[in-house]
Homo-oligomer: A and B are copies of this chain.
Amino acid sequence: MAGISNKCLYALRALLELSGLERGQARSIPAIAKNQDIPLKFLESIMRELKEAGFVSSTRGKEGGYRLVLNPNEFSPGQVVRTFQPPNSLPSTSCCFSQIVNEAEKAWFDQFDKCSFRDVLRKKAEQNSVPDFSI
């Protein structure tokens, strides 16, 4: 199956970075692109889409950048995924499998609602603080 697109993953990672900032603080595209290793121009277009969708706001000029509009506690990856990868609206020739297909799609999306950006951030922090004995 197709899974999640690169673009959508970039969007999630950019938003996760913004989630780590203090409320109202902004971060520039070049900074995010560098930290997250995302192609600059591509990120530009993604951030604009995120703005249109209402997830972030922006200010131009020096010291400008993007900031999160929503509270990371009440903001789930699912909301983003649904905007960036809209459901397939089932193949026109609906057959005996379309119900299964629809349910599968729903199950897929639902996974992204199970935690907030804050949760992801917390988990990331835990991972980084735990020493790695795997080698």
Would you list which residues of chain A between 2 and 57 have a CB under 8 Å from chain B? 2-4, 6, 9, 12-13, 16, 37
Q: How far is the CB of A75 from chain B (nearest CB, A)?
A: 14
Q: Which residues of B contact A93 (CB under 8 A)?
A: 37
Question: Which B residue sits closest to A95, measured CB to CB?
Answer: B13
Question: Which B residue sits closest to A3, measured CB to CB?
Answer: B88
Considering the chains assembled together, what is the distance between the CA atoms of A108 and B2 in angstroms?
11
Q: Are B108's CB and A105's CB within 8 A? A: yes
Q: Are A9's CB and B104's CB within 8 A? A: no
Query: Among B4, B9, B107, which residue has its beta carbon within 8 angstroms of that of A107?
Result: B107
Considering the chains assembled together, what is the distance between the CA atoms of A110 and B105 in angstroms?
11
